[in-house]
Structure 1
Amino acid sequence: MSREIHTTNGISNYKTALRQKWFSWKDVSSFFEQVCNLAVERGGFFCAFILEWEAGEGKWKKLVGAPRESADALGDFLNLLPEPTKKNTSPEPKNLILLQSSGKIVSLSKSAQKGAYSAMLVPILNLEIESKIFLFLVSDDGSEFNEIENELLADVSYHLSYAYSHLIEQNRRLSAQKAMATSEKKFLAIFETVVDAIILITERAEIIMFNPAAEKMFGFSSDEVTGKNVKVLMPDPFYSEHDSYIERYIHTSEKRIIGIGREVLAIKQDGTIFPIELAVSEVHLDGHRYFVGVIRDITRRKNAEDSLVAKNEELELLNKSLEARIDREMSLRRERERTLEAQSRMAAMGEMIGNIAHQWRQPLNAISILIQEMEFAYTEQESNEKYIQDTTSRILDLLQSMSQTIDDFRNFYKPNKEKETFSLRNTVEKSLSLVAASMKNQNIKIETHFSGNDTAYGYPNELAQVLLNILSNAKDALLQHKPEVPSILVRIFSEENRKIVVIKDNGGGFDSSVGDKIFLPYFSTKEQGAGVGLGLYMSKAIVEKNMGGKLTASSDGVGAEFRIELP
């Protein structure tokens, strides 16, 4: 009976001591240490430990214990403790009897025996985190704990679990507060040092934050404007209409500036009105809506724009006084056009010689082979009169073909004196025949598609020069761009009583920025030295001035397309 009173009183004293320390624990580590110390000092237990079950390794781990000298005996205890389950992690303490032999704890028993230890596994629960923490109390009296002691220890389990959960929550709250404080410091550092003005207002348009950049921009201190309506920074009509802007947005969610940004006017403390670039964002904090305005002074930019406008006006006035000079320049321009035409003819002649060279390459090779054969036949004494006559005849035929090529090119470049009715198809086919050898030599595929009436009225030879010029440019573009299958497509068709010739290649085309310049004299997209930039200029003059048609160019990223329209 004396043992029961002593143990019951000890547990009761232990419970009371724990309640007295309720608000003194600051962290989990000191909490566990004092729980064990009080169990020994006030509860009269032989030793006390805080244990954690490590499910992954399947063993118990000591976190802290008292007294320190009892730690050696704990190893014997831990080897005998059962694995915790849902049943023995309930708030009910687990009553154990530990048997010893030769100073060693050797087994568990369900009944008290002399020389044994009685022990309790008291759960310390936390419903928010998944853990298996126990207070392990050991008494050197082998008697089982009675019903009253079990109830007292159940109360101890409840209070310890509550205190443990409170500490966990407290630590979590402190961590959150520290994180919030750090975040606030970072925000304030940015808010205080950013070069743009930043203003935070409420739904009622009251200013609650006004950074140093805003103070410098508007001339107000933060204290002077905090709590005031943000419209004090706006001139009319914005001053009068601002409240209605916010009210309309709150009721309709129609964004006119929120998340968009715009240029408006602002007013400084001294009354100076200046232009700003304003970007407004909406934020929600703690259930309240706020608006953040980021403001940039654009006075310098606007002054520069105004200066540019003034310069343009000066230039416009100057242009009006240049009419007489323009007349003189027009006279010079006509003279330059005659020069350009002469240069264009020279360029065309160079192109013609190049095409003749390509046309002559095959017959020249054939003549060279025939001459070598004659020399070989003579050396081997295999030649006779018939062989010489046949070979000579073949050489003369080739020479006649070469001479005809010169005549074809000369007639082709001879300008027509008067307009005449002609076949577009014949003109296109003759033009293609003149460049066929050159195109074949570069492995360029030429496709044609003719449909509808191809009868046109104008200068066929001049049109042929235009076609040759465009085909030559297409060939150069294909050689420079190197597509996998270089090709040129030529189409003839009718469209609203107009005859259309379209020449399209897959040579990469030209950038849209040069589209308006492509027909200007001396403008070329070729590499330096590869062209003088007169061909398209003269081609446009021939089609539009001489034949009353229209020549345009376009590019789709794959290649260039030239379109000739004739009446």
Structure 2
Amino acid sequence: MKNSFRYLLILLIIVIPIFFTINYFLKVKLDSIMDNKHQALASSINSLIEQSIEDKSKATLNIALAISEFASKNTLFTQRDNKKFEVLKNISSEIKNNSNFKHLWIHIVDKNGVSRYRTWTEKVGDNVLSKRKELIDLIKNPKITNIISVGIFDITFKSIIPVYEEGEFQGFIETITKFNSIADKFQDKGVDFLLLVDKKYKDQIKKPFTKKFVKEYYVANIDAKDSALEIMDKNLDTLLNIKNYTINNDKFITLFKLYDFKKEHMAYIFTLQNYDKVFSKEVNNLENFIKIIGYLLILIIIAIFTIFYYFNKAKYTKKLEEEVNLRTKEIEQLNRRYKQIFDGSKVMKILVDPITKKIYDANKSTLNFYGYTKEQITSFTTLDFNANRTDADDFIFEKILKNEEYRFVIKHKLSNEEIKDIEIHASLVNIGDKEYIYCILRDITKDLKLQNEYEEKQKLFYQQAKMASMGEMLENIAHQWRQPLSTITTAASGMKVQKEFGILDDKFFNDSIDTIVKSSNFLSQTIEDFRNFFKRSNAKETFTLEEAVEDLLKIISIKLKTNNIDFNLINDNSYKIRGYKNEFIQVFLNFINNSIDAFTLLDAEKKIILVESTITSNAILITFQDSAGGIGKDTIEKVFEPYFTTKYKSQGTGIGLYMSEEIITKHFKGKLNVKNSNFTWNSKEYFGAKFIIELPLN
């Protein structure tokens, strides 16, 4: 009884302090976890604000660049045509009506700092340099400028683009946008957004756009909620000095500070969210988790003391002996099972001592394959079987021991001196208290032989494809050269005839020589274009679809013109493709040659080839479509098979489309499919084959 009371007292003395200590440290941990979550959310919000400002700034700049190009082309500064100025007003209205730029203004300032046009007022002719100090330096050194600044109306994004006419600087196009689209973006996510302009600008904002202030701080976003303004008004001094976030009136509040182009403080951006809505579930889960941990620890301590108490009280000697005997029998059973699995397997297996490299054990399949007894094979090291001993053998062992390499292929010599290619899968295992290398071996001699035969066939096939491609290129060269050669012949014959009749004058002679030189230069350029196409590069390059099509047309344009084929490219993106550009062009050459062959069998009034590209969430899709009537239903499934052709044997080899698929799938990691499809071009519907190339965006 006394011993039981003593154990209980010791248990209470230990458990109570442990309970309060654990509770304290878990509470500290909870606060730390929640602070990390608060910091992470505040950082995420500030990153989103920063990204949104950058996106809005870039979008404003893009609009300004487009308008400056319009101004330059239409000589707005030198001609000052009011009708053209009205076009700018219409552009501003269209952007407001069809985008999230609900507040967009355009301002034209000439090289003297005089305002020539404003979309928001009819006032012109005033010099703005006294109010717009940044324009003074820009007039001296014109350059594209993107800033956020405070004016007499509001805080705005300003993109200022210098405009040149006939190489002479004329002035600036300035686009002005507001922060409201950014505020709307956060409001749509249930986050209150508040933009306060620093109080030092209060006197400068003479005509406030929103007419709202919190004390001396101007509220820049139109739809600022009254509840947010009330919190700001009551706690403004405190909130202006928070580092990243604070919790006030059950609101999770973050602060982002905005600076102007001189790195001077300009405005404050606050976001407000209901704290319970964002964090209540996580807080409850963490508190419940901490309670469960605390209870479990107490139970574990009680259980430990209980076991300790009864262990000292009870006599388990006999039971422990029975347990030892039982475990011994289990180990013996495991050893027998290991022998059954190891020796009974038809797969070749060996165990190797990693230190001595000697074979510790080998199963019957291994003995039968190598032609040795177990006594013989366990006297060898693994290196004794290697047909080609190299320094790499030790390196392989190092790899295995570091768990860096688990598969390799080695040539092994059997007892009959026959050489076999052996694939080995190796890993470390523990048997008892010793570590061994466990190896599974497989004879892959026949597999490698078949693979080598396949590779030889592939080389032959690629050679045939190369020769076929060479023939097509020679045909294209003939098309490219036919017209300039005819021109040279005509010019030379004309000079010869006039010379014989004594009527050759200097003008005709010079004109004829110029024609011959021009045609000769064309022939020379044609040679260079084809030489560049055949030039083989081992390095991949980055190119756009337009660049590939441009090089393609240098090779095939005359042939297209000769066959009266209208080639068109529709590409609204500038996505870069990485790979071998000449192989990519070869794919389209194969498509075009097939289309030309198909057009020869079709009496079509209009021959169209249309190439389009679009981007999805994870791929770029490039389609090639012709109006040549499509591919037969019984052959469309076979067009990518090697040596399959619907042409006469003298006209086709059946390897063009097969090679196209090989290039797209293996060299560009993409997909190539074909189907028959209708399409519309210039308000007229056509039907033909449609090849679809899908390339991964990464």
TM-score w.r.t. structure 1 length? 0.41
Q: Which has more radius of gyration?
A: 1
TM-score w.r.t. structure 2 length? 0.33
